[in-house]
Structure 1
Amino acid sequence: MTVSSCDTYTNKRNCSDFRTGSFVWEQESGGKLLKTRFERTEDLQIEYFENQIDTSRIEWINPCEWRVIPINPKTNADSRAYLFKILTTTEDSYTFEFKQSGRDQIYRGTAKKI
């Protein structure tokens, strides 16, 4: 098998298209649809979820991975960073995985650029 034939099995990622902007992420939890809207700049992310606003600092690891670090956490548990990685992209969305620093459980989601 040549290198070029292996390329057909890799996910295409245009991570730079989603580095900054306004996004929405919907997930179902306990039979309820939860919606988080967030705005990301090069170094900040502001999240809007159920009448609460959280601001976090962004640290880019590489073009497709970053850390979200809470600026004003209310508790010690809230102070842990989250590690994000873009897995795939489409024209207007990206599928990602994330986990809280120091934890093993990995979550997945899809965010749509708005």
Structure 2
Amino acid sequence: MKPILILFLLTLASCMPSKTECNCTDFKTGKFEFTKEIDGKKITSTFERTDKLQVETFQGKTDSASVRWINDCEFILQKINPKNSAEKKAISMKIVATKEKTYTFEFSFVGDAKKQQGFVTKLD
């Protein structure tokens, strides 16, 4: 009976997440850069975030979204002037790890189970 208990405890321990640094308050405001590769091309977006507003510039176009913080690591983005029904959907953002001047985040449309990940660098 003891070997089964030990095996169970080892299995349980292997499923526990590792402790990840997460100093989210360092990334609530400031100037940031988001870079992602899509179809073999590197795209870059820059944005500035205050407690209540995020202004993003991508390919020469600037757009604004309201920011509503749920806690120190999670917030909701809502475009201020959506141009179509897709842009009307709010986006849930969650910072999942931080390191020096960077953070990793998960995002999805509010209510959508499919999550994507991104990586951001703080510029200031």
Q: Same fold (TM over 0.5)?
A: yes
Which residue does 1:28 correspond to in 2? 37
1:1-114 equivalence runs, <5 A: 9-114=18-123
Q: Deviations over 1:67-112 (max 9, x none)?
A: 0011000001111110000111011000001001232321101100
Shift of 1:21: 0.1
Aligned-pair Cα RMSD in Å? 1.5
Normalised TM-score (structure 1): 0.90
Count how many residue pairs are aligned between Structure 1 and Structure 2: 108
Q: Distance in 2 between matches of 1:26 and 1:38?
A: 11
* Secondary structure of the corresponding residue to residue 37 of structure 2: strand
Shift of 1:51: 1.3
Q: Which runs of 5+ in 2 are unaligned?
A: 1-16
Q: Distance in 2 between matches of 1:105 and 1:22?
A: 27
* Secondary structure of the corresponding residue to residue 78 of structure 1: helix
Q: Percent of pairs identical after alignment? A: 39
Letter in 2 for 1:94: Y
Q: Which runs of 5+ in 1 are unaligned?
A: 1-7
Which residue does 1:5 correspond to in 2? none
Letter in 1 for 2:121: K
Letter in 2 for 1:49: F
Higher Rg of the two aligned structures: 2
